[in-house]
Amino acid sequence: MREINTEILQQEIAQSAAILVYFYSDRCAPCVSLRPKVEKLLLESFPEMKLILIDSEKQPEIAAHHSVFANPTLLLFFDGHEHHRLSKYVSISQLSEVIDRPYHLLLD
């Protein structure tokens, strides 16, 4: 995985039709348990959605730039615009519902 900074993240968001930015911390138990579920959901149900993982403790400037104050926080971007933000406990069914409609409208 390549090194990411605020500028590179903004480029990725601008260039991707659908992107999920996952802010986490290795010391956050919900983050650790949620991550593989998110990865599986995207792989199986939303394969065109790009996933970027950002450790908010190691990259606090990126977290601050996106006003992320809790872990986990998931930011959904479609066509370069933030569509939805989910923080703290997130169920996979809730995440799937939030992604489904805009994803299929944009990419089908």
Domains of the chain: 6-107 (3.40.30.10)
Q: Average pLDDT, stretch 6-21?
A: 95
Q: Average pLDDT, stretch 16-35?
A: 95
Query: How confident is the prediction for the chain on average, in pLDDT?
Result: 93
**2 falls in which pLDDT band (50, 70, 90)?**
low
Closest CA to 1 of 66, 58, 77: 58
**pLDDT recorded at residue 88:** 84
**18-24 sheet: strands from edge to edge:** 50-55, 18-24, 73-78, 81-87
- pTM for the structure as a whole: 0.93
